[in-house]
Amino acid sequence: MIFELEGEPERVVKAGKTFWEPGGDVIHYQDANNLPDATTKFLVVMAMVPGTPMVTYVEQDELERRRDRRAPRPV
């Protein structure tokens, strides 16, 4: 799968491999299937402080302000 975390380049995570997301003030931009002829499945395990939201959505204006932290996009 393709994985992209703020401040890091896009990367492919292969079957059986793991990835880490620090949470906090870091945006998870994408996880996507990179295989045209297969389905991608992955398991997510989240650890967090009780009573805090699991997901925090980012407004479009904040995404624009942080655009320089995202991996370059294909033209």
- As a whole number of angstroms, the distance between CA 10 and CA 71 comes to 6
In a domain, 41, yes or no: yes
Given this model, what pLDDT does residue 27 score? 92
Number of domains in the chain: 1
Q: In the beta sheet, which residues pair with residue 10?
A: none
In a domain, 31, yes or no: yes
- As a whole number of angstroms, the distance between CA 13 and CA 1 comes to 5
In a domain, 47, yes or no: yes
Given this model, what pLDDT does residue 17 score? 92
- Segments of the chain with pLDDT less than 70: 74-75
In a domain, 75, yes or no: no
In a domain, 12, yes or no: yes
| DSSP assignment letter at 69 | G
In a domain, 63, yes or no: yes
Given this model, what pLDDT does residue 20 score? 87
DSSP for 40-64 reads ----------TTS-S-----HHHHH
Given this model, what pLDDT does residue 75 score? 63
- Which residue segment(s) compose the domain that 54 sits in? 1-69
